[in-house]
Amino acid sequence: MSEPIGHRRWAIAEGYIPRDDRATTRELASHEALCVLNAGEHVAHVSVTLFFTDAEPAGPYRFDVPARRTLHLRMNDFDPGRLPAGREYSSVIEASVPVVVQHTRLDSRLPGLALLSTMAFGMD
Amino acid sequence: MSEPIGHRRWAIAEGYIPRDDRATTRELASHEALCVLNAGEHVAHVSVTLFFTDAEPAGPYRFDVPARRTLHLRMNDFDPGRLPAGREYSSVIEASVPVVVQHTRLDSRLPGLALLSTMAFGMD
Amino acid sequence: MSEPIGHRRWAIAEGYIPRDDRATTRELASHEALCVLNAGEHVAHVSVTLFFTDAEPAGPYRFDVPARRTLHLRMNDFDPGRLPAGREYSSVIEASVPVVVQHTRLDSRLPGLALLSTMAFGMD
Amino acid sequence: MSEPIGHRRWAIAEGYIPRDDRATTRELASHEALCVLNAGEHVAHVSVTLFFTDAEPAGPYRFDVPARRTLHLRMNDFDPGRLPAGREYSSVIEASVPVVVQHTRLDSRLPGLALLSTMAFGMD
């Protein structure tokens, strides 16, 4: 097979975890997800740095994505002290091998659901 | 005409087919769609591999997109044994000629609809 | 100023105009929009080709975007004979000068609204 | 560290601030957001130009994003005289150093919420 698909650096400019949640299940609770696909043959050592409007960046937060696996992380669980609901942020994701990164929000502040998603911006 | 538009490899990091569906018609049932455009003059032999958090990849699943045609596939129908609703996944799409790939979710778990969509990440 | 931002070819793999509309105003009626920005100093001669699952492509449909102008087109109005609500399609957009293309759907089939949007895939 | 992630020029073809707002809080009022991440070590001097269908562009509007900071701007507050709710527009963002730009709309015209988001199109 050829070079694994992806980049070693990705950025997401948008970031906001809604508060005032109406959901009664974890599945439907407002959250933002960071999806990281490692389609290659080697483990990806990943670090995430969070950027804010009015403070120095937080992190890097480190985790691994095994070879041929995907990981869907909830930003709500990342570091609730530094990243509470209602705080505007951005993310930079760096990996030791090429990965693919996508960002999604599920918003249940009002009755019904709203969703947004975009590929992150990748660049080696 | 010039080289057909697109890439031969694409990846989608997000993937989740919602369960607990309220819809009473197929059109409005929660689903994820994989849209593949082949704007060129030759048939595209396409293979899709699914990646999971906790298991080896599934596939490749193979299908053709004829020249000058588009195909909108429902991931719900792909392989319900390996890809049931509620399982987190990612996708890699490989084609024998350049194609363009987009990913969309329609979510009707709660009253009303939610939609998300993004171009996949393409790279030869 | 430098080269105008954009590409001369773009593709959108997703396309579907919802039917069964509940909206009572044009603004809130289900529709798909094609947004074309011409940030440069010369008129953009634009042509759109529509691709289907089961028929030869339709078009090209031709229009101009003046220098330093944007045009937000409703696909509903494009060619209702070939592109009715409920038909799956894809689009290729070609322009005589660099432009930027984005695709958006507003869906009001059920009470409330749903939205999706993505940059198109650009490539010269 | 390597070159900061991003581009010096970005474009967003879609733009529309919904009117007829039902929200009773600023957080849930219909708006469009421009998110600009400056992950580098130098302040970003940013200028935004707005493009319309039927008038010359407005701006540039200038602001700074400090080093290692993100800024989430509401387009509603940008220039309400030239950019009122209900006017179709596009945006070009230019920065003195590489930044990453994402565009998001929250729509509360009808009961419930709708969201859309996409990375802007970047190009130096």
Judged against a pLDDT cut of 90, whether residue C122 lies above it is answered with yes
CA dihedral over C17, C19, C22, C25, signed as positive or negative:
positive
Q: How far is C59 from chain D (nearest CA, A)?
A: 23
pLDDT at A116: 97
End-to-end CA distance of chain D: 20
Shortest CA distance to B13 belongs to which of B118, B123, B124, B96?
A: B118
**Neighbours, chain D (3 or more CB pairs < 8 A):** A, B, C
Q: Which residues of D touch C116 (CB under 8 A)?
A: 116
C31-75 pLDDT per residue, tens: 999 999 999 999 999 999 999 999 999 999 999 999 999 999 999
| Alpha carbon distance B43, C93 (integer Å) | 21
Q: Which residues of A touch D122 (CB under 8 A)?
A: 121
Residue C39, amino acid: A
Q: How far is A35 from chain B (nearest CA, A)?
A: 6
DSSP strands (E only) in B21-113: 31-38, 44-52, 58-65, 69-74, 89-107
Judged against a pLDDT cut of 90, whether residue B24 lies above it is answered with no
For residues B47-56, average pLDDT:
98
Q: Which residues of B touch A10 (CB under 8 A)?
A: none
Q: How far is CA D93 from the centre of its chain?
A: 8
Buried b / exposed e over B30-47, threshold 16 CB at 10 Å, is bbbbbbbbbbbeebbebe
Both tokens assigned to B79: 């392989």
pLDDT at C1: 52
| Alpha carbon distance A108, A105 (integer Å) | 10
Q: Which residues of B touch C14 (CB under 8 A)?
A: 33, 35, 72, 102, 104, 117
3-state secondary structure of A51: strand
pLDDT at B1: 52
Length of chain B: 124
3-state secondary structure of D61: strand
Residue C75, amino acid: M
Say which of C9, C11, C109 has its CB closest to residue B37: C11
Say which of B37, B112, B118 has its CB closest to residue C51: B37
Judged against a pLDDT cut of 60, whether residue A32 lies above it is answered with yes
Judged against a pLDDT cut of 70, whether residue D1 lies above it is answered with no
Cross-strand bridge partners of residue C79 = none
Q: How far is CA D87 from the centre of its chain?
A: 15
Residues near B60 by beta carbon (within 8 Å), at least 6 away in sequence: B47, B48, B49, B94
For residues B11-27, average pLDDT:
88
Confidence at A3, pLDDT banded by 50, 70, 90: confident
For residues B45-54, average pLDDT:
98
Its ipTM equals 0.95
pTM: 0.97
The verdict on a CB contact (< 8 Å) between A36 and B57 is: no
CB atoms within 10 A of CB C3: 11
Residues near D103 by beta carbon (within 8 Å), at least 6 away in sequence: D12, D14, D15, D32, D33, D34, D35, D91, D117, D118, D119, D120
| Alpha carbon distance D49, D11 (integer Å) | 10
Q: Which residues of B touch C121 (CB under 8 A)?
A: 5-6, 100, 119, 122
Confidence at A28, pLDDT banded by 50, 70, 90: very high
End-to-end CA distance of chain A: 20
Q: Using alpha carbons, list the distances in angstroms from residue C45 to C34, C65, D91.
A: 15, 7, 20
Q: Which residues of B touch D112 (CB under 8 A)?
A: 112
Do residues B45 and B95 touch, judged by C-beta distance below 8 A? yes
The verdict on a CB contact (< 8 Å) between A11 and D5 is: yes
The verdict on a CB contact (< 8 Å) between C11 and B28 is: no
| Alpha carbon distance D15, A56 (integer Å) | 31
| Alpha carbon distance A87, B56 (integer Å) | 37
Cis check: omega of the bond before A60, within 30 degrees of 0: yes
Q: How far is C111 from chain A (nearest CA, A)?
A: 10
**Neighbours, chain C (3 or more CB pairs < 8 A):** A, B, D
